[in-house]
Amino acid sequence: MLSYRHGFHAGNHADVLKHMVLCLIMRRLAAKDKPFTVIDTHSGAGIYDLSSAFANKNQEFNSGFSLIKDNARLQELVPEYYEVIAKSNEEALKNTGSKGANSGGRSSNSGGKVVNSSGKGANSGGNSGSNSLDKSLRDSNIRFYPGSPYFEYALAREQDSIFVHDTHPAEYESLLNIFKRKRHVRVELRPFADSINALLPPLKRRGLIFIDPPYEEAHEYREVVSVLKKGLQRFPQGIYAIWYPVLARLKDQSKSLVQQIKRLNVPLLQSELCVTAQEEKVGMCGSGMLIVNFPYQLDEDLYPIMEELYKSLADPQQGSAKLTVITEPA
């Protein structure tokens, strides 16, 4: 969708969950010597300037990263997350100086572990129109927040291949600027379905396909399932990580999406965090990740992280967090 700009949402609670899951998957992939491929189908701008008008319109980072930036437990459990954020700030400041990074952004049940079932997280709103950096972030020398392609680049090795795709011209230009000197990163202006058709199966037969649509239109949910089916036919051993929002009841399609992917009968892990109560008509109360062909013991790695994210981001009376192995590996 050419209208969607992730810069308005950078660093929110959904980004925190999504990127911590991504860090753990990248950790598992990099644990073996064999090279791997990562395909990011909805890459966005790559790095976001939290002092920009985009980010400060609603200050959604106050519902996410600002609340966990100094969390010692999470720094211990997923140090890569914090290391990549520090690296992105160093690189963005060096490469762009006072201009900063892009201010916008892109575009059978086996049971499981329920972390908690009862929160209203930090308000995702904020002071509209401010173009100055939030004081807590300024005190931590954090001005930029990386998107998924930057995490992938930073956690991959020279022998690995990273493909970052988007359909928004501004995001594409931002990605080119960030990764122009990174030989193992290839940037393309390419739609979601084309990415799967063109690149699967990859030459390096280990890999991750990271799928993160904006879900502004109902057909995007159907497209995710359709393209996932094609991807599994071409690259059945690949890891497919799919982000989804939990919206107001009248608009939410998260449960339907989960059920449709469950019917594919492939190993499936679900991680979901809702920071506030689900409203009836508008709003996003949370988000989740569906990981097809999830790496061994990923659920065990994620469990303490989900516990800490629930404690840090969600209201204990109205929020919830869950981690469920929906379909066990064969």
Give 23-80 pLDDT, tens digit per residue: 999 999 999 999 999 999 999 999 999 988 778 887 889 999 999 999 999 999 999 9
Cα-based distances in Å from 139 to 103, 134, 313: 20, 9, 20
Do 26 and 151 touch, CB atoms closer than 8 A? yes
Do 209 and 239 touch, CB atoms closer than 8 A? yes
Residue 192 CA, distance from chain mean position = 16
> Among 13, 10, 12, 9, which residue's Cα sits nearest to residue 311?
13
Give 232-271 pLDDT, tens digit per residue: 999 999 999 999 999 999 999 999 999 999 999 999 999 9
Give 82-93 pLDDT, tens digit per residue: 999 999 999 998
Cα-based distances in Å from 313 to 165, 306, 308, 319: 30, 10, 8, 9
Residue 316 carries which DSSP code? T
Domains of the chain by residue range:
6-327
Give the fold, CATH level 3, of 6-327. Rossmann fold (3.40.50)
- Residues annotated as part of the active site: 212
- Residue 94's pLDDT is 85
Other CB atoms within a 10 A radius of the CB of residue 210 amount to 27
Angle at 294 between CA 290 and CA 299, to 5 degrees: 85
Residue whose tokens read 């904020």? 126
Q: Which two tokens stand for residue 141?
A: 């020398």
User: Rounded CA gap, 50 and 65, in Å?
Assistant: 11
- Percentage of the chain modeled with pLDDT above 90: 76
State the chain's mean pLDDT as an integer: 87
